[in-house]
Amino acid sequence: MERKKLIKLLGLNLGIAAADIITFSPGLIGLELIGPSALATALGSTIIFLSGAGLIYGNYKLLSGPEKAIPPDKNSTVDDYIEALNMHRELKTFQATVDLLKDQIERLQKKNKTIRDILLQIFSASEISYQKFDAVIAEVEKIFFMNIRSILNKLNAFDEEDYNFIRKKNEAGAFSQQLMDERFKVYDEYITSVKAATEDNEQILLKLDKLLLEISGLNSVESGQLEQMAGMIEIDNLIKQAKYYKN
């Protein structure tokens, strides 16, 4: 069990136990101030019920929650990526970025569907030209989601509680400025790399937009014409670069 989760469990259970002790122990601030009455009995029953409910629900939420979000792999579905991103919305540092990534996924799906629909007006699905083009779009999707997997790895490793702790200690001057600068440098790397990967995906969407603009005005395409389109050349270069860095 994670140390932080164990601390939360201990804090919850000890807190409820302490509240009950204070309430029911003679000599402490408890029900004796009210005296023996129907009100005291009702209040005592209510406190016991709330304590039990708090113990059950609080422990269930803490114990049943995921230890860590596991990033999707290359065989994951789009829904897997959305679910993984949603698990990181609690990170206030990256909340806006997570929402943007989910929006990027939606736009990617919409653009690729539109591209394929337009191509099916020019080619049949069995034609080699369409199959080549479809393979290129699929490769672009792989690069796009590869970027998201990289982002999810960063989000999974990012410790926002520690980040906020360091910020507070920096304001209080608890440590030397040199140490603080080094600590912030590490967290700035997380933030910068996540933003860079998100921008890379936005560049991919831009390239698809350019390609979509080119093919939307076509009624027919001669053999080899697709490969000579400026949009296709940009995407082909993107795929080659991605393979280079992957290797």
The secondary structure of 103-153, three-state, reads HHHHHHHHHHHHHHHHHHHHCCCCCHHHHHHHHHHHHHHHHHHHHHHHHHH
| CA–CA separation, 83 and 76 (whole Å) | 11
Q: Choose the most confident range, by mean pLDDT, from 3-17, 78-92, 165-179, 206-220.
A: 78-92
Per-residue pLDDT band for 75 (boundaries 50, 70, 90) equals confident
| CA–CA separation, 12 and 52 (whole Å) | 12
Per-residue pLDDT, averaged over 56-66, amounts to 54
Q: Answer for the pair 22, 28: CB distance below 8 angstroms, yes or no.
A: yes
Report whether pLDDT(30) > 60.
no
Per-residue pLDDT at 171: 85
Per-residue pLDDT band for 202 (boundaries 50, 70, 90) equals very high
Higher pLDDT, 227 or 163: 163
| Report field, pTM of the whole predicted structure over 0.75 | no
Higher pLDDT, 84 or 26: 84
3-state class of 38 per DSSP?
helix
Per-residue pLDDT, averaged over 125-148, amounts to 90
Higher pLDDT, 3 or 51: 51
Report whether pLDDT(194) > 80.
yes
